[in-house]
Structures are given as C-alpha cells and as structure tokens.
Structure 1
Amino acid sequence: MEGRGIVHFGGVRCAITCPSDLDECEDLEYYEPGGFHPVHLGDVYDNRYRVVYKLFFGGFSTVWLARDTLVNRWVALKIVIATESSTYNTRSVIAGHPGVVLPTPPARHITESESSLAGSSDLFITVDRQFWIDGPNGRHLCLVYPALGPDLSRLSRGIYSRLKPDFARQLSLQAAQALVQLHSNGLCHGDFTASNILLRLTDEFDSYEEDDLLTLFRPPQTAPLQTYSGKPPRPHGPDYIVEALNFCSSSATVNVLSSKICVIDFDQSFTTTSPPQELPGIPAKYLAPEVAVGLSPSPASDVWALGCAIFRIRTGDDIFFDYDTNCPADALREIAKAMGPLSEEWKQTRFSEDGLPVTDPNDTTEAKAQPEEFEILVDSRPLANRVRDIIDEPAGLFINTQGEEEPEPEHKAYVHYSSFIKTDGPNKPYAASLRSMLWKPTAVCMAGNYFAAYCDLTDVLLKSFPRMAEPEASVLIDLLSKIFTYDPAARPKAKDLLTHPWFHI
C-alpha cells in the first residue's frame, strides 16, 4: 500500500473532494450512518474474502477485488450503502431470470428458451452469493460477483483513453447480441449504458496470487483521511481512501483483459409485459425521447440506449450530453440538437422545475411548457457532423500540425501539466500488451506539445488528429440514424441490427 496526499473528512455532510493525487474516489460525504461501509485493505469478510484492491465505486456502493480464500479465486465484493441495502436485493431479483444466465451445471430440465441461450450466457453476470455486513454505518448487503475488468466508459473516455476501431466494433456487436438475448426472453435491461458493459478478465487471471498482482499493477494507491475537527475518521470513515485498480497500467507487462464483454447491473430491469410507470434510473444522456416526455420504457428505449453506448464506445464521447445534461428536459434539448425538431405533441410536454415530465393533467405541480426550449438551438450539430468529427489514432506518437508522423522533438511542452508527475500519467502510452485494444490521445505529442486534460487549447491540438475514414463514417451514420428515430415503433429491433454492415467492416 502506497500512501500519498491527505484529504480532509468532515464526518457528516461536509464539502469534500477527491485528493488531487488520486484520480477519482467515492463521495466521501457518505461515510456516515446509513452510507458507505468503511473498508480497509486486508479486511476479511464472511471469514473468506480478503480485500486487496478497490475496483469501482458508485453512488450506492463500493466494489472491491478480494481473494476468496475458500476456493482460491478472485471475486468482486459489491458493498451497498446501508440505507439502500434492505430493498436492493428485491430490485435485483430479475437477475436470476433464465434469460440472463443458464444454471451451471444444469440442475433441472432446460427449457427451449434457455437452450437457445447456450454459448451466449457469458454475455451476462449475476450474483454468485450474498451476505450481510454489520458496521458502524449500519447493515450493508454485500454481493459477490466473479471478478471483472473495467467498464467500457472508462476505456473509451474522451482524450484520456480510446478503443481501437476494430475492437470498438467488435465490442459493440457483442453489446447488441446481449440486448437481443434479453429481448428474446421478454426482458428489458432498463439501464443499458457503456458503464454497465465490462470486459471480462482472461482465464489466467485467477491463477495470479496476491503478490503477482501487486507486482503486475503496483500496490494500491492511498491517501489518508483527516477530519476538519482533527479527530480520527473512525468509526464512520476509513483511515484512508483507496484509488481504483488500473487494469491498464502503463507498467503492466501482461494483459489481463479479454476481448469479451459482460453486461451487469439489472437493478432497472423489467419484463416487457410489465414496464415501470415511474421514470427509470438510467442517466439522462441515455434516455430515449419518448421516455423523457413521460411514456413507459420498452425494448425500443433499450435500443436507443444501445445507440448511445455504441457512440460512446467508438468515439469516447456521449452523443446527447452537455455539461449540464442532468434531467429529461436537458436530454430532449441535446437530442434535438443532433436529430432535429421534436414533434409538436412532444414540444408541448410540461416539465417541473427539476426538468421532469408532468404527465398527469390534474397535477398541480408548478410546471411549464416552453416549446421554444427545443426550437432555439443555436449550437445545433447534426448527427452526420458529429460522426465525421470523430478523431482517430494518428500514424505515430509524434506528429506535426498536419497530422504527419515526425521524429521525437528534442524539447517538449506540457499543456495543462498538473498530472504528469504520475507514473501512469496521461502522456504515458499504454503498455505494448494493450496497444491492439487501446490508445491514448494524450500520449500523442503534437508539434512538440502534450496535453494532459481538457483546456483552452484542446480543440486546437486535436485538429492535428485524423478523422474517422469516410467509408466507416457513412456506415456508422446510417446505423445511428436508424436507431435514433423519434418514433419508437419505427425504431429497429435489436435483432435487426446484428447484420448491419458497420459491425462487420
């Protein structure tokens, strides 16, 4: 365990940010009664799971890589915040539906629909087992999953990380296949985002011992916590924060990531015959327009979300997102910028002050109908323009302003250089073992200049990068134009997308 800077922790609802020398961390304000369980490296849970690294975190849980000492394999422990734990399991019960995963080994007669899933059930992951943790912040549900790699939103993330084009198309096809399997069994995912699509780890990963991982990825990076009062953060907070494991470390000599995806997080799932009546919990930037105006989600809204995920996987950016896209009204505005005007009926949708659709005509909630919000689009960018603006990998790590490869310059400038001190800083290319899958725009030196984060010069520097080749751009525009159809009844079904030429370039 390597300690670095200090972060101050207030204990109850204080303004806290992640320390600057850690990439990201969970919301530290939630280390309080009802919130996160404080986890320390080396903790053992249920007398068998020893925590070695942090994997992920979200608004309702932290996820940890642990060694199952009973069967000598790696698992992921998802520890849910206390206030959500009592109802979390009931929301996840659909994950046991036979359309999601086959029993292994078969313990009963396999139905015809289950048989049709043979060979494709590895597209999904469900809970192996669960147990409870009683801690200083309450009682927490702990879900045990097989260990998985990073999600695709982390691997395809703007200027920081991009998937190679062939690999992006391969993963996108698998995502479409996963949706087909769900829909053919009468299920909708409800939250089909790039963040819920993960890479599986290689079969060899379980053979690594703890010391092997510490050598391969270096010890976990930590930052001590200090309270504003000067009191120890315990019992409600941990002694230190842990940075999430970087499976793509520049120092890694072995690639532990497979080329197979796995869809997770069925909390928002529902059967096609019983859609939820309330607004689903999917991020606004993935919200289908018909759901944004108050209609029920459906397989068609899953397909819309798939289109958003495909764009993110291939480009590193979210197609219907601006920095303030946080609610359905915001989502509709962004959709209209790319796909054109909404129907007259949808333009008359009333929205609350929070940007939520008001569908009950008797609702007395203060709401407003402002059609002009969806018509005055001064910064409209049609879908075709967005696709043709997608940057791709240049010929080498050193290029001139025309995008041509050039020798490594003797002197380099670092634009926005605050993160360059890190071992895995943004200017470090991915390890050779990963370069068939990934590349970093920030690892490219343009006319002697690097940049480590978005800044005023980002757009200028990115002009040196090549754009997506026209043959692929035209086919991708065709695919997305079909998916991003306003009328959900006219939107293609997931199964109809599998033969689209973009997936098979």
Structure 2
Amino acid sequence: MADGAPHPPEKVYLPDHDIEDIEEYRAGGYHPTVIGDVFHNGRYEVVHKLGSGGYSTTWLARDKDTEHYVALKIPRASEASKSTEADILRLLSDSASGHKGQRFIPRLLDEFAFDGPNGRHICLVQEAGVCSIARSKEDAANFMFPVETARSIAAQLILGFSYLHSRGTFTCETCSSNYGPSLDHLTPDDLHSRYGLCKSPVRRVDGADVAPHAPTYVKITDYGTSVIAAANEPFPKLYTPTLYLPPEAFFHEPATLAADVWTLGVNLYEILGERPLFETFVCDPDDVIWEMINTLGRPPQRWWDKWAARGEVFEDDGSWKTPSLGSNRVYTPAFRRLHQRMWDMGRGETPETCEWDVEGGEMRALEDMLRGMMAFEPKERLTTEDLVKSEYMVKWALPAWERQLSRQGESASECVSGTSD
C-alpha cells in the first residue's frame, strides 16, 4: 500500500453469521444491548431481540408504565444527528388520515436519547410484534399459507404499501412486515420458550474483554429501512436483498417508488405460493438477471447491451449459446415464463389440480397484477393505487381480509412490527 494511503481498520472481533456486524460495536456504532437492560429511567426493560441491520438493532421491551410490549429501535450513535426516521414515523402516524392501509404501519409511541459507551443514541419506541410472515410460512406444514390467509395477507400488504406511497414514503427494502396477535399476555419466559433465545458469545481477536463497547453476547435475527421521496424523485441506494431487487438496481439506474412495487410483487408471489419467484443457488446478480429474463422475457435494449454476462448464455442475436464444458454457469436452454410459474406455486401443477378457483379467473387476475407490478420499465409498472383497484384485490384479496375482520372483530389482526435498517 502506498505511503499516506488510508489503512483499513484492524479486525477486533471474531466473525459470526446471521447477526449484525460485530465490528460496528465501537465508538459511533451500535449500543451494546443485552436481555435485561433497562432504558428511560427504568421504564423499558429489554426481554428479547427483534432484529438487526446495518443501521440499527431492534429489541422487544416491556413498558412498565402501560404493561404492554413495545419495540425499541436503537440506531448507531453516528446516526443520531442524521436519521429522519422519527420524522417519517410521525408523518405516517398522522391521525387525520383515513387511509385503510394506515393500520398496518407501526406507530411511533415514544422517543428518547441516552448516552452509552459508543456515543449518544436516539431510541424510537414503536408497537411490537414478533411473528414475521416469512417465519410463519416456514413453520406451516407444507410451507404455504392457507389460501384464505394468503389472500388476506396480500390485501394487507397492498393496502400498507398504498398508504406508504400516498405519504411519499419509499421503503428501499424487501417486504418484512410482521404479522401476529398481541404479545401482552405472554411473560418473558413464555416469549423465550416460544420464540427462542439463541445467544452467540462475542469474542475479541486478541482475547481481551469485549466490554464496554460490545455486549458479551448477541442474539440472532434480521430487519430493514425507508425514506421519504416524491413519486418521481430517484433514490440512489436500495438495501433490498438481491433476489428482491428491481432490475434498475442491477444496471445502476436510480430507484423510484416503482422499485417498491417490483419488490412487493416478488414477495406476493412467494406469500401466495410455496416457492420463491426467482430461484438461484447463490444470490449472484447475473443469475438473478437470468431468472428475470427467464420469467418475464428480454429486458430493454439498454440493459441487454450492458449485461456483461449475457455472452455466457446468449448469442448476439438473442439465441441460445451452446454451453461450454469450461463455463462456470449452467443454464437450462428453455424459458419458464410467468404463466408457467403460476402453476408452479404449489397450489397445483396443472389446471386440473389447481385449487385457485380457475373457472372464476383468480389465477389469471393474479398473473395480470403481478405482470403489471414487474414490468421492466419502472414507469410502466402499476402504482399502489392501481393495485388497490386491481381485479385480484377487489374480487379475492380484499374480501378475504374483510372476512377475517368480521371473524375477529373490526380492530383485530393488525400488522405490527419493530423494524431495523
């Protein structure tokens, strides 16, 4: 390395998987939170971990004043003067809105600042829930929601995103909404028994004590992010996992609100069926682009020309290239378009065995909606307002949600979450 060039920071902690970056437990970084910590003059006691991300960690806490569980979102200290999340949550919590989707957005209940060994943190207190859609789906016997439940979840997500976009809010993140009943009847021991308390010890490379900057252990989970943007205002950075990214992100074009619609479409396919829409062994960008083309057809010419790995699969005229023995990539020379993937959702492999009300047109309506959500050109995608008015929403998803409300009571079954970015 040339003299005067900046040196990368030395690694302090031994790496671990499925947790926040331990190297961020330093001055300006995460607060070293552990189960049992109390905040805000003893009002909030940490009982479990909800998630973590590059921006913050989120914790389930018991509010001793109200005897309810809440989510404590603790951003890195370096974000204290930069974060606009509290402003966004206050905007979304505006009680004057009559939008149906507002009920699916976690309210900002409280906020406070505190000083820790890594600096000053601004803590956000929100409504809490721990039952994620993805986790619930994994726990199902056949890895699928019942049809009626899937329809209701689809309606709630569409309404929630419609409300976000109506307030100019852009998630920049995969759909990670939490969905579940109130936790207030559970004791901390019940929570640990039901949701697990998996601890991973934090260790320094040099064997020294990790305190005070890092916790003695971390808990394993995951979470997400959002910003305010005008409908046509680009936002340069997305935090969405590779399989859910819109195509413009792979070709380094600015994202707009239409990026949310693409990501929501990919998520809806997965929620309504058994398998992910795009399936790769590794989340390699070229493999994901290939899956997009396999599903939706050839992308716009400007992206086709920019795709460096195109030559490994296609001739210049777009025809299949004969696979070479030395190629690192293996592609099946056949397309599996979106229409075929509708029958591969796990609801039935053929029209004869599919249970999705084929004669009434539900699968066709769903396919039309997904195709509109995943148009390659962002300007050609459906808006969230279009989704609320779509045939699938009006005839199948929304009625399922309304039937759920009638069974459980008008105020029942709200989507609540404590999310991290």
Q: TM-score range by the shorter chain?
A: 0.7 to 0.9
Q: CA deviation at 1:166?
A: 2.0
State how far apart, in whole Å, the 2-side matches of 1:311 and 1:372 are. Answer: 30
Is 1:241 the counterpart of 2:218? The answer is yes
- Could you report, residue by residue, the CA deviation over 1:350-390 in whole angstroms, capped at 9, with x for unpaired residues? 7xxxxxxxxxxxxxxxxxx5653674773443223333223
Gaps of 5+ in 2: 1-9, 321-330, 401-421
CA distance in 1, matches of 2:139, 2:337: 19
SS of 1:78's partner is strand
Picking from 338, 341, 349, the partner of 1:386 is 341
Q: Is the 8 A contact 2:133 2:178 kept in 1?
A: yes
Does residue 1:76 correspond to 2:71, yes or no? Answer: yes
Any conservation in 1 of the 2:296–2:338 contact (CA below 8 Å)?
yes
Distance 2:196 2:131 in 1: 18
Instruction: Structure 1: give runs of 5+ residues left out of the alignment.
Output: 1-10, 19-23, 104-109, 246-263, 351-368, 394-462
Q: Deviations over 1:262-297 (max 9, x none)?
A: xx9662331215333x24333333333345434443
Counterpart among 199, 209, 227 of residue 268 in structure 1: 227
CA contact 1:82–1:140 (8 Å) conserved in 2: yes
1:42 aligns to what?
Answer: 36
Deviation at 1:134, TM superposition (A): 2.5
Asked whether 1:145 is paired with 2:126, we answer yes
CA distance in 1: counterparts of 2:272 and 2:347, whole angstroms:
10
Q: Does 1:28 align with 2:27?
A: no
Counterpart pick for 1:283 among 216, 236, 241: 241
The yes-or-no answer on 1:54 pairing with 2:53 is: no
Per-residue CA deviation, residues 211-238 of structure 1 (Å, 9 max, x unaligned), is 5545x63873434444454433322322
Please give the alpha-carbon distance, in whole angstroms, between the structure 2 residues aligned to 1:476 and 1:126.
31
Q: Tell me the distance in 1 between the aligned counterparts of 2:202 and 2:273.
A: 37
Query: Deviations along 1:188-246, whole A, 9 cap, x unmatched?
Result: 42435232x121433xx3354545545x638734344444544333223222233559x
C-alpha spacing 1:42/1:176, structure 2 compared with 1 (3 Å) = same
TM-score between the two structures when normalised by the length of structure 2: 0.72
Give the aligned partner of residue 300 of structure 2: 343
Correspondence for 2:161? 179
Q: Match for 1:500: what amino acid?
A: E
Q: Which residue of 2 aligns with 1:479?
A: 369
CA contact (8 A) 1:157 1:317 kept: no
Match of 1:308 in 2: 266
TM-aligned CA deviation for residue 75 of structure 1: 0.9
In 1, the alpha carbon distance for the partners of 2:217 and 2:138 equals: 27
Look up the SS of the partner of 1:199 in the other structure: coil
Aligned residue for 1:128, secondary structure, equals: strand
Report the CA distance shift for 1:326/1:13 in structure 2 as closer, same or farther (over 3 A).
farther
- How many residues of Structure 1 are paired with residues of Structure 2 in the alignment? 362
- Counterparts of 1:219 and 1:480 in 2: how far apart (Å)? 36
- Counterpart code for 1:17: D
Deviation at 1:49, TM superposition (A): 1.0
Change (3 A) 1:316 1:31: farther
CA RMSD of aligned residues (A): 3.6
Of the three residues 373, 391, 397, the one matched with 1:500 is 391
Alpha-carbon separation, structure 1, partners of 2:200 and 2:169:
40
Normalized per residue, the structure richer in strand is 1
Judged with a 3 Å threshold, the aligned counterparts in structure 2 of structure 1 residues 242 and 301 are, in CA distance, closer, same or farther, namely closer
Which amino acid is 1:79 matched to? I
Question: TM-score scaled to structure 1, two decimals?
Answer: 0.62
